[in-house]
A = this chain, B = another copy of it.
Amino acid sequence: MTGRLDIVGLGPGGPEHRTAAATAAVRGAEVVIGYGPYVDQCADLLDVQVVVRGAMGEEAARADEALRRAAAGARVALVSSGDAGVHGMAARTLARAAELADDERPAIEVVPGVTAALAAGALLGAPLGDDFAALSLSDLHVSWDVVERRLTAVAAAGLALALYNPRSRTRMWQLERVLEVLREHRDAQTPVAVVTDAARPGQRVERATLATLDTEAVTMRSLLVVAGDSGRVAGEWLLAERGAGVPA
- Rounded to whole Å, the gap between the CB of A14 and the closest CB of chain B is 9
Query: Given A118-B83, A157-B149, A157-B153, do A94 and B237 touch, yes or no (CB 8 Å)?
Result: yes
Closest to A129 in B: B91
Which A148-162 residues have a C-beta within 8 angstroms of B?
Answer: 149-150, 153-154, 156-159
Cβ–Cβ contact B114 & A131, under 8 A: no
Bitwise, A118-157 to B at CB < 8 A (1) or not (0) is: 1101110111111111111010111101100110011011
A17 to B85 CA separation, bound complex (whole angstroms)? 15
State whether A11 and B16 are in contact (beta carbons under 8 Å apart), knowing that A141-B243, A248-B146 are contacts in the complex: no
Decide: B142 and A150 in contact? CB cutoff 8 A.
Answer: no
Q: Contact string, A58-91, partner B, CB cutoff 8 A, digits 1/0?
A: 0000000000000000000000000111111011
Cα A19 to Cα B118 with chains together (Å): 13
CB-based nearest B residue for A236: B98
Number of copies: 2
A201 contacts the other chain (CB 8 A) = no
Interface residues of A (CB under 8 A from B): 9, 11-12, 15-21, 23-24, 83-88, 90-92, 94-95, 97-98, 105, 109-115, 118-119, 121-123, 125-136, 138, 140-143, 145-146, 149-150, 153-154, 156-159, 234-235, 237, 239-244, 246, 248
New contact pairs (13) apart from A85-B126, A91-B126, A113-B114, CB-CB < 8 Å: A84-B126, A86-B118, A86-B121, A87-B242, A91-B240, A94-B235, A95-B241, A110-B121, A112-B118, A141-B241, A149-B157, A153-B156, A153-B159
**Are B136 and A85 interface neighbours, CB within 8 A?**
no
Q: Which residues of B contact A95 (CB under 8 A)?
A: 234, 239, 241, 244
Instruction: Tell me, in angstroms, the Cα distance from A157 to B118 when the chains sit together.
Output: 23
A150 near B131 (CB under 8 angstroms)?
Answer: yes
Tell me whether B87 and A143 are in contact (CB under 8 A). Answer: no
In contact, A125 and B110 (Cβ under 8 angstroms): yes
- Complex formed: what's the CA distance from A133 to B135 in Å? 8
Specify which of B20, B94, B105, B150 is in contact with A126 (CB 8 Å cutoff). B94
Q: Which residues of B contact A118 (CB under 8 A)?
A: 9, 83, 85-86, 112-113, 115
